[in-house]
């Protein structure tokens, strides 16, 4: 279920703060969102794949923690990111 290198580089290029940025909060959230989207599609087909479902829940929790951090530290970047990724805000 890992992202292929080309797709990962494209996401990093789109959300990076600078040229050499690969680990900022925005990039991590974007990569997690793509993995969540892929796993959701997988689980629609394979409904009984409980180990993947557990992995999906862990990814959603990790993304939630990163979003909470980003909202606390940089609200402007947070609102821009959730609008771009079409993530709901509670």
In angstroms, rounded to a whole number, what is the distance separating the alpha carbons of residues 29 and 71? 12
Does residue 86 register a pLDDT over 70? Answer: yes
C-beta separation of 19 from 6 below 8 A: no
Helices 25-45 and 50-73: angle between axes, nearest 10 degrees = 150
**Residue % of the chain over a pLDDT of 90:** 89
- What b/e string do you get for 59-83 counting C-beta neighbours within 10 Å, with b at 16 or more? beeebeebbeebeeeeeebbeebbe
State the average pLDDT over residues 14-32. 94
The pLDDT value recorded for residue 89 is 82
- Say whether 46 sits in a helix, a strand or coil: coil
- Domain boundaries of the chain, sorted by first residue: 5-85
Predicted TM-score (pTM) of this structure: 0.92
Report how far apart the first and last C-alpha atoms of the chain are (Å, whole number).
Answer: 28
Does residue 66 register a pLDDT over 80? Answer: yes
Top-level class of domain 5-85: mainly alpha
């Amino acid at each position: 279920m890992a992202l292929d290198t080309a797709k990962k580089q494209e996401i990093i290029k789109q959300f990076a703060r600078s040229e050499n940025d690969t680990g900022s909060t925005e990039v991590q959230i974007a990569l997690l969102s793509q993995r969540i989207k892929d796993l959701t599609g997988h689980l629609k087909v394979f409904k009984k794949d409980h180990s993947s479902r557990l992995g999906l829940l862990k990814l959603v929790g990790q993304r939630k923690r990163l979003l909470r951090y980003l909202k606390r530290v940089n609200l402007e970047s947070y609102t821009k990111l959730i609008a771009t990724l079409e993530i709901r805000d509670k």
